[in-house]
Homo-oligomer: A and B are copies of this chain.
Amino acid sequence: MQQKIINPQDLAFQLYELHDVERLLSFERYSEHSRETFQAALDLALNVAAEEFAPHARLVDEEEPRFENGRVEMRPEVKQALGVLRETGLMAAGQDYERGGMQLPAAVAQLCVGMLKGANVGTQAYAGLTIAAANLIMVQGSEEQQTRFAEPMMAGRFFGTMCLTEPHAGSSLGDLRTRAEPQPDGTYRLSGNKIFISAGDHELSENIIHMVLARLPDAPPGVRGISLFLVPKILVNDDGSLGERNDVSLAGLIHKMGYRGTTSTMLNFGENGGAVGYLVGEANNGLAAMFHMMNEARIGVGLGSVMLGYTGYLHALDYARERRQGRAVGEKDPVAPQVPLIRHGDVRRMLLAQKAYVEGGLALCLQGAMLVDEKKFADTEAQRSLAAGLLDLLTPVIKSWPSRYCLEANSLSIQVHGGYGYTREYPVEQFYRDNRLNPIHEGTDGIQGVDLLGRKVSTAGGRFYKALMERIEITINEGRQDPRLTESADRLEQAVTAIMSATDVINAEKSKGNKEKALANATLYLNAFGHVVVGWLWLRQGLKAIAGLGGKGEQSPAFYEGKIKACDYFARYELPGVITTAELLKTIDTTTLDILEEQF
């Protein structure tokens, strides 16, 4: 394997066998596509990732961007790589043909960016954030905003950011204070300070388009008084040419543990009177507008975690096959040749855990991406609404599960490397550092847990939650038909039963008005729920692998056997923990609430 970003067999299996992305070809939107065009985009992205992004991943970690003379200096390889990416047109992979896009399905478009994430997450972020900001304008912005701002972004000429966090308002977005004063000409003047703005300043593009959350003077307090504004770094004239510098200034860079290639900035808006901004969508509806595209952004975060875990796994696998250390259990001859690490049971366990996490995580993210397309383009309103509900339900899981378990995969890939894995001479320690961001940004694990348990499982009277559990039940019944999957199906059934039972108890507690108690262990619920969903996706992979072994697939028999064994692994080693957690959840335990502040 030359590149260590993704296993091409797994990619093909997941797209064309597990998720059957080709069924999207029946949608009008994708009628000009084919598996070949999907694959061409993916091959292009993988090539750019391996050739242009991966080679300088360590370099931008070691020589991170610097704040010098009021501007950001960074390694020239970043601009070079992003320039090549721009030329490919992949920054508009998911956009309409008429906007210069490739009009690819979300699963394919997300994976194209995913390749870049696995190769070099720091450089990728400039493109990834631009794609997300452009999407936001395409969904929420006016026609003029789309033409003047989003189109140059999709073409890679302008880059974009998301400006949410302020020094005193992180998870508590409702407390943000940046103000937007309306002007007679219909524009606004923004003033305030933002922090942790990724890609907030650089010299990589002609312009930077900031998507900024702020308050109008008469806005109600809290989250209902937040509006979304588009604030360019450089004003754009009516003819699209660049005008004056806007009143947005870089106050400093933040230095991170990982993800170092991406500038994390403090930005001041309106230090000299007010930054010109344009309202996007309706006034006081900014958070909803932002969240309208958050599902896709959160799939992006989850996929980023997966791809960092995935590349770490492939590096560990390669190392375990090459590196010889020790001897088989029971070998008495001390001069027998040392065996490859992969012969050791404990190393194999660590590799299997990584495989289960990263391939399971990939299946999860692609499931989300398929729902994005179904939600938008499925034939009937009923199908679209069901897909939208399932996507909403799964979003906190897609955001958080990979960011926890694929980070654990990165830790295991270090462990497989032994002392070498701890050195910066090998890449796995960087993946671990890079990935540690993902449980924090775009909504911490704690926020996702409350979102899932406090809202999503109960949306529409629990309709989508029940629909998901029914789908899982169908898979379990299918799994029971094959002797090689019966055990996994049974174990998944037990886990599903446990989590459903816990959900019922917690819902009853919520309906008694004891919300704090009911949600006290929402993060543990989130992890267990995620395990059930990934267990389901592993059982589905097991079913497709059995079909593949029976001649209904394109991959090698060894590959399919590996899938079945990873399915076994997940069912035997991971799913039983769900039952343990569910038992705790069912007690509505308040240990964590009972301890008083001064007792720590």
Within 8 A of B (CB), among A557-593: 558-559, 561-562, 565-566, 568-569, 572-573, 576-577, 579-580, 583-584, 587, 589, 591-593
Instruction: Name the contact of A348 in the complex, choosing from B172, B343, B595 (C-beta under 8 A).
Output: B595
Using A321-B597, A558-B599, A572-B584 as known contacts, say yes or no to A522 and B346 having CB atoms under 8 A apart.
Answer: yes
A205 interface residue per 8 A CB criterion: no
User: By the criterion CB–CB under 8 Å, are A424 and B257 in contact?
Assistant: yes
A87 interface residue per 8 A CB criterion: no
> In the complex, A354→B168 CA distance in Å?
25
**In the complex, residue of chain B having the shortest beta-carbon distance to the beta carbon of A326:** B172
Residues of B within 8 A of A223 (CB): 334
> In the complex, A222→B331 CA distance in Å?
12
User: By the criterion CB–CB under 8 Å, are A334 and B174 in contact?
Assistant: yes
A462 interface residue per 8 A CB criterion: no
CB distance from A254 to the nearest CB of B (A): 5
> In the complex, A594→B565 CA distance in Å?
8
Instruction: Name the contact of A352 in the complex, choosing from B170, B418, B449, B595 (C-beta under 8 A).
Output: B595
A115 interface residue per 8 A CB criterion: no
> In the complex, A595→B569 CA distance in Å?
10
User: By the criterion CB–CB under 8 Å, are A597 and B255 in contact?
Assistant: no
Within 8 A of B (CB), among A439-475: 439-441, 444-446, 449-450
Residues of B within 8 A of A596 (CB): 558, 561
A165 interface residue per 8 A CB criterion: yes
A415 interface residue per 8 A CB criterion: yes
Within 8 A of B (CB), among A336-376: 338, 340, 342-349, 351-352, 355
Instruction: Name the contact of A170 in the complex, choosing from B221, B325, B587 (C-beta under 8 A).
Output: B325
CB distance from A441 to the nearest CB of B (A): 7
CB distance from A428 to the nearest CB of B (A): 9
Instruction: Name the contact of A572 in the complex, choosing from B170, B351, B415, B589 (C-beta under 8 A).
Output: B589
A302-327 CB contact bits vs B (8 Å, 1 = yes)? 00000000000000010001001111
Instruction: Name the contact of A565 in the complex, choosing from B329, B423, B584, B591 (C-beta under 8 A).
Output: B591
CB distance from A447 to the nearest CB of B (A): 9
A335 interface residue per 8 A CB criterion: yes
Residues of B within 8 A of A335 (CB): 221-222
A433 interface residue per 8 A CB criterion: yes
Residues of B within 8 A of A436 (CB): 411, 414, 422, 429, 432
Instruction: Name the contact of A446 in the complex, choosing from B324, B327, B347, B562 (C-beta under 8 A).
Output: B347
CB distance from A222 to the nearest CB of B (A): 3
Residues of B within 8 A of A450 (CB): 346
User: By the criterion CB–CB under 8 Å, are B423 and A444 in contact?
Assistant: no
Residues of B within 8 A of A175 (CB): 338
> In the complex, A522→B174 CA distance in Å?
49
> In the complex, A293→B550 CA distance in Å?
58
A425 interface residue per 8 A CB criterion: yes
> In the complex, A22→B348 CA distance in Å?
47
CB distance from A77 to the nearest CB of B (A): 20
A and B contact pairs by CB, cutoff 8 A, 16 listed? A168-B324, A171-B326, A255-B423, A255-B425, A257-B424, A345-B519, A345-B521, A346-B522, A348-B592, A348-B595, A349-B520, A352-B600, A414-B440, A415-B446, A422-B437, A565-B595
Q: A348-B593, A561-B596 are in contact. List 17 more A-B contacts (CB 8 A).
A: A169-B325, A171-B326, A196-B419, A221-B335, A223-B334, A256-B429, A345-B592, A346-B446, A346-B449, A346-B523, A415-B445, A418-B440, A421-B440, A432-B436, A558-B598, A565-B599, A577-B577
